[in-house]
Amino acid sequence: MSWRALLLCLMMAFSSPALALSPDEILSDPALESRARDLSAGLRCLVCQNQSIDDSDAELARDLRLLVRERLVAGDSNEEAEQYIVDRYGEYVLLNPRLGPHTLVLWIAAPLLLLVGLVALVLARRRTARPQAAGLTPEEQAVLDQLRDDTERR
């Protein structure tokens, strides 16, 4: 690590972090603001660990929050604003991956597993149901007769 990079790290460590959503970012229109919050919750803070930009303290998250609000104020729909961000930062920014050829397996995994489980259950059931028809073994029949005799005697 060069001393320059080291210095940068130190500066970052000592500068106090800008925290999550600040009052100066909040839009005056509550409807727009609420849409901005919904959008923010689904956008990933790219430099953080699995945090949405709504929760994150990072500078980049703040930039994205402001960008989202800028787009909404400019008259974008939620989808347009989201697309605007995705165009610039890639699909990685979406916490909820879009359905597409590359995420097909991801999205159908759960229903598919459930289906496979159900089919396996039905097959297993058919397999175990058959021997039942075979009836009792001679020993079992003997035990049963014995039990019946015992009850009748009583």
Partner 1 sequence: MSIELGHFSLILAFAISLVSAFGGLLLWRRGERLALVLGQAAVLQFVLVGVAFLALVQAFVVSDFSLALAANHSHSLKPLIYKISGVWGNHEGSMLLWILILVLFGALVAAFGRRLPSDLASLVLGTQSLLVAAFAGFTLLTSNPFERLAVPPLEGADLNPILQDIGLAIHPPLLYAGYVGFSICFSFAVAALISGRIDQAWARWVRPWTMLSWVFLTLGIAMGSYWAYYELGWGGWWFWDPVENASFMPWLAGTALLHSALVMEKRNALKIWTIFLAIITFSLSLLGTFLVRSGILTSVHTFASDPTRGLVILSILAILIGGAFLLFAMRAPMLRQGGLFAPISREGALILNNLFLATAVGAVLVGTLYPLVLDALTGTTISVGAPFFDFTFGALMAPLLLVLPFGPLLAWKRADLVAAGQRLMGMAALAVFLTVLISALGGVSISLAPLGLLLGFWVSLGSVAELIERAKLGRIPLGESLRRLAGLPRSIWSTAIGHLGLGLTVLGIVSVSAWETEIVTTLNPGETTELAGYSIAFDSFEQIPGPNYLADTGIFTVTAPGGGMARLDAERRIYVASGTPTTEAAIQTYGLSQLYLQLGEPLDDTHVIRVWHKPYILLIWIGCLVMSGAGILSLTDRRLRLGAPQRARKAAPEAAS
Site for partner 1, rule CB under 8 A: 10, 13-14, 16-24, 26, 41-42, 44, 49-52, 55, 90-97, 102-103, 105-106, 109-110, 113-114, 117-118, 121, 125, 128-129, 132, 143
Q: Work out how close the CB of 7 gets to partner 1 at its nearest, in angstroms, rounded to a whole number.
A: 13
Structure tokens at 18: 């800008």
Closest CB 102 distance from partner 1, rounded Å: 5
Among residues 55 and 76, whose Cβ is nearest to partner 1?
55
Residue given tokens 């159908």 in the structure block: 108
Beta bridge partners of 52: 44
Q: How far apart are alpha carbons 58 and 18 in whole angstroms?
A: 6
The residue (of 75 and 125) whose beta carbon lies closer to partner 1 is 125
Q: Which residues contact 35 (CB under 8 A, 6 or more apart)?
A: 72, 78
